[in-house]
Structure 1
Amino acid sequence: MDLIWQYALVFLAAATPWLEIMIVIPVAIGVGLAPVPVTVVSFIGNALPVFGIIALFRAWERRRGPLRRRWSPRARRIWERYGLPGIALTGPVVTGIHLAAVMALALQADRRRTAIWMTFSLALWSVATAALTLLGFEGWRWLFGNG
């Protein structure tokens, strides 16, 4: 039962905005949880709120009006140059995936494409983070021994 609570905490931490998978995965693996389940649970925990944002964003705009945000010229150039793939792939590192989804939708990205790109980005970053965490721990053991 204790293990279920630990993975539930991993899920909730990953679902929390700005507490991204790059923090949750290394911490969870570092405390001794299994890497594959941690990666899967973190991915799901991070993706579900993004899907909620995507599903409810247009309804929120219909009720409250369009998101009024003055994008800086730099942000506009990045959007025009790299578009949705750029925002999705850099989102977990630069702004957090939740804000990246809001940003993409506010800039009139298609909901379906936003969901696909955000899911791809989260999957990529989840696997990369888990792999780099494992490599880091193995490197630590190699450098300093098992003790």
Structure 2
Amino acid sequence: MPDLLWQYSLVFLAAATPWLEIMVVIPVAVGFGLSPVPVTIVSFVGNALPVFGIIALFRWWEGRRGPIRRRWSPRAQRVWDRYGLPGVAFAGPVLTGIHLAAVMALAMHADRRLTVVWMTLSLAVWSLITLVATVVGFESMGWLLGGQQPQP
């Protein structure tokens, strides 16, 4: 039991690490033999909590350090101009990482409450997609390599 707690703690910390997104953490943890659903839940929480912290402390940071003056890449600016906060939230985990996507949204003056909603929704959707893809992928590999029939 202590080993299991340690393993899930590592999953949480890995998911909380910027640029180590749920799309990496979930398949790796499941590949190491951890249960897919708890891994997904722990990864979601581990990825979401730092984002909530960023959102909560962003204005304080700007008050102390001044506004973030950054030229966003043309690609990031196009996503913001075309799709706004929802686009940045859903593209973030794939393109930049959800942490940087939250900073970008706030630097572009997105509403904090809406940023929480969209970032959380994005993480939930990507967590579920990653869970399904991971389970299907590992089941398919087992079936292909082991010759076992897939279970209905």
Which TM-score band applies after superposition, normalised by the shorter structure?
A: over 0.9
Deviation string for 1:27-69 (max 9, x for gaps)?
1001110111000000000000000000000010111111011
Deviation string for 1:84-103 (max 9, x for gaps)?
00000010010000000000
Distance in 1, Cα, partners of 2:93 & 2:100: 9
Q: In the superposition, relative to structure 1, how do residues 145 and 72 fare at CA in structure 2: closer, same or farther (>3 Å)?
A: closer
SS in 2 for 1:80: helix
Q: In the superposition, relative to structure 1, how do residues 20 and 73 fare at CA in structure 2: closer, same or farther (>3 Å)?
A: closer
**RMSD, matched Cα:** 1.3
Partner of 1:84: 85
5+ residue gaps, structure 2: none
5+ residue gaps, structure 1: none
TM-score (norm 2): 0.93
TM-score (norm 1): 0.96
Distance in 2, Cα, partners of 1:6 & 1:53: 26
Aligned runs of 1:10-89 on 2, under 5 Å?
10-89=11-90
Partner of 2:114: 113
Distance in 1, Cα, partners of 2:87 & 2:44: 19
The percentage of counterpart residues that share the same residue type is 73
SS in 2 for 1:112: helix
